[in-house]
Structure 1
Amino acid sequence: MTERTAAEAIPFLITRPAGKADNLLASLDESGIAYLYQPLITTAQMALKPQDQQFLQHADMLIFVSVSAVSCLQNQTDAALLKAPLFAVGHTTASALQRWLAREVTVPEDQRSEGLLQLPQLQQVAGKQIVVVRGNAGRELIKQGLVARGATVRYVQSYKRVPLPLDGASLCQQWQLAGIRCIVATSNEILQQLFSVISAGHHHWLQQCDWVLVSPRMQDSALALGIAAERITLADNANDSALLAAISQLKREYQ
């Protein structure tokens, strides 16, 4: 197979997890932006423990960190149990909650853990029972911040992240032949998984790609992996519209 010409190249690699990329891919199709889609991780529902239902029922506040946290809880919880005020880290998660529970959801403009902790409703929480619904791993910042303010914080883990079994050598060859110039990654886990799946001998190629990332924390991780700062574009946040804006800007630069 010969190298693709610039006109034929597929410049963008989308790595959002399986099941979470549909809206972004549809927007790219509508915008005429060529891409390859390769998820690196997927999510699997985790069965709730009996005490989890008690935590949910008696919580003073409920915080949801992702759409998967919502959907995997919805599959195994009676909505009538969830009476506490609802908070979501991002607008997409908030929309999923509103569709399920038909109630108001508070969401920060800065759609990160840092933004959530800035919400006025979460400043005076001493003595409150707060439940964070999330996956089997993740940042501790929300819990640490709320505990420091005197709250009791418990996790309800409704799903787990599962790396997909992938042939890194074959994928890297495919991406190079396609003409990939930019990799879009929406979590540190995905970023690290890329450098794990692809052998060290091809890390130089990854480092020479442009990257669309979604937080300063991810940028720090990318720099530690040898990606130069000028190769990194930070989207405003991880939602589809912000990612599309960052990708569209790079597409204009590539033309």
Structure 2
Amino acid sequence: MAAKAFLITRPAGKADQLLASLDEMGLDYVYQPLIATQMVALKAKEQQWLLEADQLIFVSVSAVTSLQQQLEASQLKAPLLAVGETTASALKQWTGREVRFPLDQRSEGVLAMSCMQQVENQHIVIVRGQNGRELMKQSLQKRGAKVRYVQSYRRVPIALDGASLLAHWKDSVSCILVTSDEIMQQLFTLVPVSAHDWLRQRHWIVVSPRMHDSALAMGIPVANIILADNANDSALMAAICHYKRDYL
């Protein structure tokens, strides 16, 4: 029997709804998180930045949940923005307040929002993990804003036996779903170099044009890359259904 399972690599706690949807559709999948998140303790100066900000931007659900463990929602007075709908939902659930997010659920979408146009002398705080894109900060600084990062969590690779996992995946996995460059890189780091061609021969579902370019740079053929509209569950399921319709 041909391999037809999806390899789902979303971190623990972020894949529940997606896996439930796959179960409802009767689709085969293997679930293996590759990266975990760890809360980073707020420094006193970072807490002060959050309390005094003119606008707060959250880049991920982990940014929200890690901050939630350290602050009361009532302490955040500034308008709230999120890069994506899922993050906005988590932030609204925590704070009970309105949270704005763009239709284009990327940094580019946030920068195009009306509230991001006239920001001269505003103090804007971006809550995120370590590293990540610099586009939002650089663009807002060019518009005259004073931008600071608060790192509320860090991402760490999970210790796994790549050779053992590969032996399990080889007979079942036909399509790999990844939601960050970091996860994609970790897959290639995890499995033996001798299996990199096998990875490249899978179909891949990625969540941004930037990830599409990264997949090409890793040697994955363009015909094997499916670009989801974004990283929320509905967009991922639409991409999975596209793959199911065209390839299974």
Same fold, judged at TM 0.5 (above): yes
Counterpart in 2 of 1:127?
A: 121
Question: What SS class does the counterpart of residue 173 from structure 2 fall into?
Answer: coil
Give the counterpart of 2:205 among 188, 193, 212: 212
1:94, distance to aligned residue in structure 2 (A): 0.3
Identity of aligned residues (%): 62
Residues 82-101 of structure 1: matches in 2 within 5 Å?
82-101=76-95
Q: TM-score, normalised by structure 1?
A: 0.95
Q: Does 1:194 align with 2:187?
A: yes
CA offsets per residue over residues 113-137 of structure 1, 9 Å max, x none? 1111111110110100000011122
Q: TM-score, normalised by structure 2?
A: 0.98
| Distance in 2 (alpha carbons) for counterparts of 1:52 and 1:160 | 16
Question: What SS class does the counterpart of residue 13 from structure 2 fall into?
Answer: coil
Aligned 8 A contact 2:36 2:157 in 1: yes
Residues 145-160 of structure 1: matches in 2 within 5 Å?
145-160=139-154
What are structure 2's unaligned runs of at least 5 residues? Answer: none
Question: What SS class does the counterpart of residue 150 from structure 1 fall into?
Answer: coil
1:10, distance to aligned residue in structure 2 (A): 4.2
Aligned 8 A contact 2:206 2:226 in 1: yes
Aligned 8 A contact 2:4 2:175 in 1: no
1:100, distance to aligned residue in structure 2 (A): 0.9
Aligned 8 A contact 1:126 1:150 in 2: yes
| Distance in 2 (alpha carbons) for counterparts of 1:100 and 1:24 | 22
Q: Does 1:182 align with 2:175?
A: yes
| Distance in 2 (alpha carbons) for counterparts of 1:254 and 1:125 | 47
Structure 1 runs of 4+ with >6 Å offset? none
| Distance in 1 (alpha carbons) for counterparts of 2:121 and 2:154 | 29
| Distance in 1 (alpha carbons) for counterparts of 2:6 and 2:140 | 38
Counterpart in 2 of 1:221?
A: 214
Question: What SS class does the counterpart of residue 252 from structure 1 fall into?
Answer: helix
Counterpart in 1 of 2:6?
A: 12
CA offsets per residue over residues 102-151 of structure 1, 9 Å max, x none? 11111000101111111111011010000001112211111111111110
1:42, distance to aligned residue in structure 2 (A): 0.7
| Distance in 1 (alpha carbons) for counterparts of 2:142 and 2:199 | 39
| Distance in 2 (alpha carbons) for counterparts of 1:28 and 1:248 | 10
Q: Number of matched residues?
A: 248
Q: Does 1:144 align with 2:153?
A: no
Q: Does 1:250 align with 2:243?
A: yes
